[in-house]
Every structure is written in C-alpha cells, then in structure tokens.
Amino acid sequence: MKVTKKTSALNNKNTSWSGRFNEPVAELVKKYTASVSFDQRLAAFDIQGSIAHAQMLGAQKIISLDDVKSIETGLAEILQEIESGQFEWLLDLEDVHLNIEKRLTDKIGDAGKRLHTGRSRNDQVATDVRLWLRATTDDVIAGLKGLQLSLLDLAEAHFDTVMPGFTHLQVAQPVTFGHHLMAYVEMLTRDTGRFVDCRKRINKLPLGAAALAGTSYPIDRELVAKKLGFDGVCENSLDAVSDRDFAIEFTFAASLVMTHLSRLSEELILWSSPRFAFIDIADRFCTGSSIMPQKKNPDVPELVRGKTGRVYGHLTALLTLMKGQPLAYNKDNQEDKEPLFDTADTLLVTLQIYADMLRLPVVEDGVVVKKGFIVNKDNMRQAAFEGYATATDLADYLAKKGMPFRDAHEAVALAVRYAVDKKVDLSDLPLTTLQEFAIEIGEDVYAVLTLEGSLNSRNHIGGTAPEQVKAAIARVRKSMS
C-alpha cells in the first residue's frame, strides 16, 4: 500500500505526543523511525482489537455506549476503506495505529479520541502482532497439512518402489521411495506439533498492560481476552509489553521447517540430475538457461535451499534484537516486525509451492491432463544394485546361522572386496565361491540377496518393508483426519 508524505495532525499536532516538544521531528528521523510502510498489514487486527477494547470500556462505563457505537461504525468503515485500497496512509503518523486513530477521529470526532483510554501503543502493538501471528500460525499449520497430504499420496503410489538408501551419500541398503518420503512426513508432523504448541503461548492477551504498569481505569482484561479469542491474559504488565518470545519461537519453528525442506530440496536437486535421473520435476517449477538450450534447472528446490538461510537470518536478528533490552518496551522492538513478516511470508509460499510441486500427475481416462511429480522407477531400481546394498543382509543371514556378527561382518567384507575386483554383484557369485568366505552359506542365500528379500525382511514398525510403509501411511492419514 502507498504511504503518502503528507503533513497531517492528530488534535492539531504532528503526533499524539508532540505537546512535550518545542520543535518538529526532522524529516530524516520521520523516515527512519516510521513503521507504517510495513506494519499496515496489521490494520485489520488493530481494528479488531480496538473494537473489543472499546466494547470493554463501554461495559465498564469508562466511555459511553454512544461512543462505543460510533467507534464500532467508524472502524468498520475504515476497514472497508483499507480493504478497497482507498485508505491514505500518512508517513507523518508513523504507524498503523496512529493512522487509523487519526482517520477515526476525523470521521467521528471526540469519540475517536476516547478510544485510546486505558491503553498504550505498547500493549496495542503487542496485541496486534499476537492476533496477526495467531492467524498466520493457523495458516502455517494448514500449509503443513497440505504438504503432508501431497507426500502421503506420493508415498502411497510408491510404497514398494525400490531405491538405494544412502549414508554418507554412499549406497547403504535398499529402501522404498515411499519409506524415504515418509521420513519427511515425520519431520513435518513434528513441525506441526511445534506450531500447535507455539500457538498456545501466542494466544495470551497483553492489552491492559498499557505502557508498562497497567492502568488506573477499572478495565476488564478477561472480557477483552474472551472477545478476541485469547486463552487468557499476560499476567505481568512489564512482561506483556516487552515480550517477543512468541515471535522468536515462531521464527525458530519456521527455521526448522525450512531446514527439513532444504534437506529435501538437496535430494530433489541431486535426483533430478542425469547422474541420478531418479525423478522429473514438472516444467512449471523449473527454468532453462540463457545460453545452454538443453538445461532444465530445478529452481524451486534451489531457492528453497537458499531461502532457508534467509529465515535463519531472521531468527538470529530477533534473538540479537532482544538480548540486550532492559524492561520494559524499547523502540528496538519495532524491528521485530520485518523479520517476522518475511519469515511468515517465505514459509507460507514455500509450503504452498512444495505441496503443488510434489503432487502426482492428474490422469483422466488414461490421459495425463496435468503434469506432476514423476518417479523413474527403473533408474531407482538399477541404482539399488550398485554399491552392494544387500551386503548387510548377507551378514545378518550368517549371524542367524550362528556365526558371531563381527565374524559375519568380516566374512562379507572379504566377499564384497572379491566381488568388487571381479566387477560383479554378490548375487552373481556362485555358491561355491561364497562358501569360500563362510561355509555356513547355503542355497537359500540368494533369496536374501535380492532387493525384495532385503526390503521384506525389515517388517517391523519403522522398517522399510512395503507392508510397513502402507501401515505408516494409514496411521498418519488417520491422525490427520
């Protein structure tokens, strides 16, 4: 929204506090200290909080019910002006609160001036930010669920698709692609729990703390809390106006989500490379090269990986912002909004775009009508044959035959070294050759050395057996319903 550099007045003065001063604020200082260019996004929440405050003032007979009605009507009209883009934001009025208060006073006269009775901008802004962040947290939780559903659908479609599992980015053991995706579902489940928990601490009302010490008016804070849907009130006035733990906690939770999506991004980038060719990301999420016509670059995962650092920076900024502040409110706290707003914006759009990018193709009557995330099963399977992924299964086989595991480990290591020299897989070695490393090996060993045999043997909760992957998907779907 446009901010106009137009001299205005509140009660014929430049600001709500200018009577104390004998010279106007310097123009450069106005620009430096103003927050209206970014805090105007709080407008609807500021109006919501002001209406509840006015209703409480009326109920407590601090202002007249006629004033309350005028305030309600005026604020409703101002909200319409803001939503339609007709509201003129003035830089001279510094922030969202004074802009709305000035407009209200222009519309309804003295009743508008009475609205600020029993509150300060300190507790007002703290309330606005909590109202906004509570709604934003609900949006984040919904976004996390949307991404989980995309992952669940993809995992269900590939519950038995074989791929190599990696440690140290080296082929380790066979897993299914569905099982791999379910690891990210688990991460997002934890992320959701953090935001649900964070919301409880966001949802406390600071209004009524006034500047820092409370107010001498006979206010009813619990009534305001109830009207605004808060679970309770902040119980110490000093803490109420200066606390930004909830913003830091939100940004920390957002940083962890971005960490998880950055890890997935790194895998998608690798897997989409011709060196892997495990997956194909739909063209609408990629770009080409200005010079190399063959290129298809995974820009979305790359940007998610980059934007993760951006969110980390906001967390560090907020922690640094708060670390040296004495009680109570300080102007430093104005710097909480831009990092918090950008964190929320970045996280929400990332969740939305990832949920879309990981969706299965839309097929109607056997025809793909909307391209989606493609998995190259054959390439994944072929890669699982590389790196002797079933070597551990052979060691387990020998241990089950009675050989101490450490001895089995050594015997299989020698067999792998032999197979590497011969450039063949363990399953390609003749029985007589395998028995040179361990006499306990019998004909039944070849069932153990298959990819499916390896997968199916891990048939327990948390294991990669296809049966367990389907069960895990069902459990998560049930928990989300």
Sign, CA dihedral 289-295-296-299, equals: negative
Phi, psi of 424 (to 5 degrees): -135, 165
Max Cα–Cα distance, the chain, nearest Å: 101
SS3 11: coil
User: Dihedrals φ, ψ of 98, to 5°?
Assistant: -70, -35
Please name the residues in contact with 430: beta carbons below 8 A apart, sequence gap of 6 or more: none
Residue appearing with tokens 């895998």: 267
**460 tagged catalytic:** no
For residue 63, give both structure tokens: 């202002």
The strand pairing partners of 174, in sequence order, are 164
Q: Locate tokens 């909830």: which residue?
A: 246
Euclidean distance between CA atoms 60 and 448, whole angstroms: 78
The one catalytic residue among 84, 168, 290, 481 = 168
- 53 annotated active-site: no
Beta bridge partners of 362: 370
Classify the phi-psi angles of 152: left when phi > 0, otherwise alpha if psi is within -120 to 50, otherwise beta: alpha
In 41-161, which ranges are E strands? Answer: 89-90
**Exposed/middle/buried for 216, CB within 10 Å: 0-12, 13-18, 19+?**
exposed
Query: CA 64, CA 250: separation in Å to the nearest integer?
Result: 39
Rounded (10°) angle between helices 337-357 and 245-272: 30
3-state secondary structure of 88: coil
C-beta of residue 320 within 8 angstroms of C-beta of residue 237:
no
Residue found under tokens 């793909």: 368
Catalytic-labelled residue, pool 97, 179, 265, 289: 289
| CB neighbour list of residue 272: distance below 8 Å, 6 or more residues apart | 278, 279, 280, 281, 296, 298
In angstroms, rounded to a whole number, what is the distance separating the alpha carbons of residues 431 and 408? 16
- Residues contacting residue 416 through CB under 8 Å, at least 6 positions apart: 388, 391, 426
Q: Which residues are catalytic?
A: 168, 289
